[in-house]
Amino acid sequence: MGRVVVGVAVAVAVATCAMAAVVVGRRVRSRRKWKKVANVLRELEEGCDTRVGRLRQVMDAMAVEMHAGLASEGGSKLKMLLTFVDNLPNGTERGTYYALHLGGTNFRVLRVQLSGQPSSDLEHEVERQPIPLDVMTSTSEDLFDFIASSLKEFIAKEGDGSNISQDRRELGFTFSFPVKQMSVSSGILIKWTKGFSIVDMVGRDVAACLQEALTRKGLDMRVAALVNDTVGTLAVGHYHDPDTVAGIIIGTGTNASYLERIDAIIKCQGLLMTSGRMVVNMEWGNFWSSHLPRTSYDIDLDADSPNPNDQGFEKMISGMYLGDIVRRVILRMSLESDSFVPISAKLSTPFILRTPLMAAMHEDNSPDLREVARILNDIFEIPDVPLKARKIVVKVCDVVTRRAARLAAAGIVGILKKIGRDGSGGITGGRSRSDMKMKRTVVAIEGGLYSKYTLFREYLREALHEILGEDIAKHVILKVTEDGSGIGAALLAASYSS
Active site includes 108?
Answer: yes
Amino acid, res. 446: E
Looking from the CA of 253 toward its CB, the CA atoms found within 13 Å total 11
Active site includes 176?
Answer: yes
Q: Closest Cα to residue 102, out of 208, 220, 196? A: 196
Pure H helices in 227-354: 229-240, 296-304, 314-317, 319-336
Catalytic residue among 76, 140, 176, 334: 176
Which residues, 6 or more positions from 301, have their beta carbon under 8 angstroms from its beta carbon? 315, 321, 324, 325, 328
Catalytic residue among 56, 108, 327, 406: 108
Which residues, 6 or more positions from 216, have their beta carbon under 8 angstroms from its beta carbon? 145, 148
Looking from the CA of 77 toward its CB, the CA atoms found within 13 Å total 18
Amino acid, res. 250: I
Burial code (b: 16+ CB inside 10 Å, e: under 16) for 417-444 equals bbbbbbbbbbbeeeeeeeebebeebbbb
Show the CA angle centred on residue 454, arms to residues 450 and 459, nearest 5°.
75
Pure H helices in 51-132: 52-71
Active site includes 229?
Answer: yes
Catalytic residue among 86, 145, 205, 229: 229
CA–CA separation, 410 and 284 (whole Å): 12
- Residues belonging to the active site: 108, 176, 229
